[in-house]
Structure 1
Amino acid sequence: MFAAYAAVTIVAAVFTGAAAVTYLIDHDYPKAQLDMKRLPRSWGPVLGVLLAAGSLGLLAGFAVPLLGTLAAAGLVAYFVGAFGAHLRVGSRDLVGPAVFLALSVAALTLNIAHHRLS
């Protein structure tokens, strides 16, 4: 169980960390996503910080399990919102948010299962 928990948590942390970096360095892709979803560009850095906090929280969860669980739950909420934002504007490009959401749900599920069994 630990191997699955560790692998999924690390992959989720890397993916969300990479996404956070794109927001925090003011890359063009997040700007285009914000524009497409009709959200203010001023939200970019805030979203980047939320993603970074989630990524770091997942990794910190190896030392403090509750922190990892809360970070995973926060990322699930974040990506439910992202998926909803795509649907709100009629976007058909749902693979990205679906992958991030599924990965976050998997990290949360395995986190809870691992710590419940240990």
Structure 2
Amino acid sequence: MSTTYVVVTVLAAAMAGFSAASLFFRAKWVVQPLADYDIPRSWWPWLGTAKAAGAAGLLVGLILPVVGVMAGIGLVLYFAGAVVTVVRARWYSHIPFPLLYAAPVVGALVLGFTA
């Protein structure tokens, strides 16, 4: 296991965890776009839980690699769904935000497979 892999994985987990916490604490800069995209409020706790579980799974994956791979795939699918939601809502200027969170997850998956 390389140092780069560990650093990128911890960064990905921290970013996903921050994103989850921002949703749990109803940060205005997070929940306002969700409302604008017509995401039902009843989904918000589930979306935050999915991100938090993915973040935890990435960290557990440092010890049990299969868990990290599953968590990484889940987060990539989550953020891909976020991109689709943003495009569906026609807020094209917001597309980079889910991609920004997905990038370190993809990096961790790639580094995990090459290690």
Tell me the TM-score normalised to structure 1 length: 0.89
Report which structure shows greater RCO (CA 8 Å, sep ≥6): 2
Partner SS, residue 90 of structure 2: coil
Deviation at 1:26, TM superposition (A): 2.7
Which residue in the other structure is 1:99 paired with?
100
The number of aligned residues is: 114
Aligned to 1:90: 90
Q: Are the aligned partners of 1:30 and 1:44 in contact in 2 as well (CA < 8 Å)? A: no
RMSD: 1.3
Counterparts of 1:44 and 1:25, CA distance in 2: 11
Percent identity over paired residues: 35
Match of 1:52 in 2: 52
**Shift in Å at residue 29 of structure 1?**
2.7
Q: What's 2:111 paired with?
A: 110
Structure 1 consecutive aligned stretches of length 4 or more whose deviation exceeds 4 Å: none
Q: What are structure 2's unaligned runs of at least 5 residues?
A: none
Which residue number in structure 1 is paired with residue 81 of structure 2? 81
Structure 1 unaligned blocks of 5 or more? none
| The 10-residue stretch of structure 1 (75-84 or 17-26) with the greater mean CA deviation from structure 2 | 17-26
1:19 aligns with 2:19: yes
